Structure formats: C-alpha cells, structure tokens
Amino acid sequence: MDDKNNIIEKLETIKPTLSKSQKRIADFIAQHYDQAAFMTAAKLGENAGVSESTVVRFATELGYGGYPEFQHVLREIIKNKLTAVQRMEITSSKFAEKDILSTVLSSDIDKLRQTLETVSAEDFTSCIDTIMKAKKVYVLGARTCFSIANFLGFYLNLISLDVKLITTNSASETFEQIFATGEDDVIIAISYPRYSRRTLNAVKYAHNKKSKIIAITDSEISPIVKYADHSLIARSDMSNFVDSLVAPLSIINALIVALVMRNREKVVENFHALEDIWDEYRVYEKPIEEKEK
C-alpha cells in the first residue's frame, strides 16, 4: 500500500506542520474515521468545527484530486476495520425513512455499473486461459463468500473440470485440503471485507507452492491481490450490514459462461448424460403437462 493510501498514518506524520484548522480535521478523522469516510465535506467540516471549503482545500493539499478522491481512499483504508456494530449504525442512518427495496436495488445496480467500467477484459480472458490449462482447480471463499464459492464450484464440476471446493471450518482443515497444490494448479480465491485471515493465509501458502492465483475481490488494495496472478475487481458495499455480493456473483456467472463456451461439446455431452440420470432418479419435479399424460 503506498503512502498516498495510508491517510491515517500520513496525517499523524504531518500533524506538526498542519494549521490549526487542518489539525481539527485530522483529529476528527483519527478519532472517528468510521464516520468521516461517509460524510460529505460540509458534514465533516461541521463536525470538525471548520468550513466546507477548508475541508476541500485540506484534501487537495494532501495530494488528492479533490474531496471525493480523498473520501474514496479513506473508505478503502477503513473498510476492513468496520465492526458489525459500526456497519449496522451506518446502515441504519443510510436507510432511515427511505424506500429500502428501491435503495438496495439501486445500490446493487450501481455496483454492477462500477464493476463493468473497471474490470479488465484482458484479465478476464487470462483467467479463462489459466483455468482451462489447470490440472486441478481449487475454489476458496470463507464466511459469506463461501456461498458464491460453492455456486462456482458446483458449475465448474458440471463443466468437467477437476474441482475441489475448499471448506474453511478450521485453519488446519483448510491447509489439509490444499497441501498438495502445485504449479499446475489454480486457486480461485474470493475475499471481501472484512477480509478473512484464513483465506489470506491459504492464498499465501498456494502462492509459495507456485500455484496460479485468481483473486475475485473488491479492490486493488485487497490483501489477496498482492499474491494473485490475475485479479477480477467486482465492487461491493462494505458500509451495509449485509454484504452485497451481486457484482462478484455476476463476474462468476461470466466466468462460467465463458468456460462453457470454451468446452461446449463436453458440456453438452455431460448434460445429455445428466438428464437421463435426473429422470431415472426423479431429481426434479416433472412439469404439470407431463404429469397429466
């Protein structure tokens, strides 16, 4: 992480050189970073006892393009520090007396739009190439991320890839499941704030074993990115009590579709065989019109 992104540490270092008004801003941010990251310049100024214009000048003098950039970087820094209680407080203030349904859906649509604008098509193609060449594919996601890791693992198995979904009930179990990984294998790691230490440690281990790492995460400063060969950045809203995983799930859908198209003949063959099995063992309820025949 570069110095520009270490806002809190940077403010502490330069504090002796700041003016009286700037020190008020720096002190408020240091003491209330979880709130400051989501305040407008006017609101931050009000709480720090300075004007809005002083806050804006403060951001530009620190080397940022303006207050929005300053605020964005502050959010990136503190996202993994927000406790569940702090996230609940932010959610309560954000959605108070609002149409929750439309607000949440609009927020998810915005995350999809941001992801579409920032995700690298080149990295996406490289991820497909890497997965197709892999001897074995490990899929890893802890806590809330396990749900979409499970989704990805399910479909990769249907595509006939050699897939292992890593469960993370304990640190020892995680390493027992990946200890044989090597340079011919790929680890698809999914990690969102608050970042799981178990996921990070597993990625470090696989990186040391020369495995290829594909990171699906929310930011270039996510801790797993530094170990990744390829990163797919899908935005999320870490200020909500409930993690928004709409964008990463959409990225995963795109991965699955692209892999199916690369392996189309084999997938069709698999599904012909599976349809016979599903019919024989009555896996799915038959449509009403078939029951009436």
Q: Which CATH number characterizes residue 235's domain? A: 3.40.50.10490
Name the helix (H) or strand (E) containing 138: strand 137-141
| Residue 117, token pair as written in the block | 């604008």
Are residues 60 and 164 both part of a single domain? no
Look up the pTM and report it: 0.72
Cβ-contact 256, 156 below 8 angstroms: yes
Distance CA 154, CA 158 (A): 7
Inside any domain, residue 287: no
Segment 107-136, tens digit of pLDDT: 889 889 989 988 889 999 999 999 999 999
Q: Which amino acid is at 279?
A: D
Inside any domain, residue 123: yes
Are residues 167 and 238 both part of a single domain? yes
Angle at 78 between CA 75 and CA 81, to 5 degrees: 145
Are residues 145 and 51 both part of a single domain? no
pLDDT for the residue numbered 76 = 73
Are residues 60 and 128 both part of a single domain? no
Q: What residue numbers bound the domain in which 48 lies?
A: 7-78
| Residue 160, token pair as written in the block | 């006939």
Are residues 60 and 144 both part of a single domain? no
Are residues 127 and 258 both part of a single domain? yes
Kindly tell me if the per-residue pLDDT of 82 is higher than 90: no
Cβ-contact 277, 176 below 8 angstroms: no
Are residues 171 and 52 both part of a single domain? no
Kindly tell me if the per-residue pLDDT of 241 is higher than 80: no
Distance CA 235, CA 76 (A): 11
Give the model's confidence band at 292: pLDDT under 50 very low, under 70 low, under 90 confident, else very high: low
Inside any domain, residue 1: no
Instruction: Decide which of 50, 78, 106 is a domain's last residue.
Output: 78
Q: What is the dihedral angle through the alpha carbons of 87, 92, 98, 102, rounded to the nearest 10 degrees?
A: 30
* Strand-pair category, 186-191 with 163-166: unpaired
Count structural domains, the chain: 2
Are residues 268 and 123 both part of a single domain? yes
Inside any domain, residue 83: no
Q: Residue 46: which CATH number?
A: 1.10.10.10
Give the model's confidence band at 3: pLDDT under 50 very low, under 70 low, under 90 confident, else very high: very low
**Strand ranges of the sheet holding 163-166, from the earlier edge strand across to the other edge:** 163-166, 137-141, 186-191, 212-217, 230-233
Chain centroid to Cα 169, Å, comes to: 20
Are residues 29 and 169 both part of a single domain? no
Based on its alpha-carbon atoms, the radius of gyration of the chain, rounded to whole angstroms, reads: 23
Distance CA 217, CA 198 (A): 15
Kindly tell me if the per-residue pLDDT of 201 is higher than 70: yes
Residue 210: phi and psi, rounded to 5, are 70, 15
Are residues 223 and 136 both part of a single domain? yes
Inside any domain, residue 36: yes
Are residues 125 and 199 both part of a single domain? yes
Are residues 74 and 131 both part of a single domain? no
| Residue 276, token pair as written in the block | 């016979």
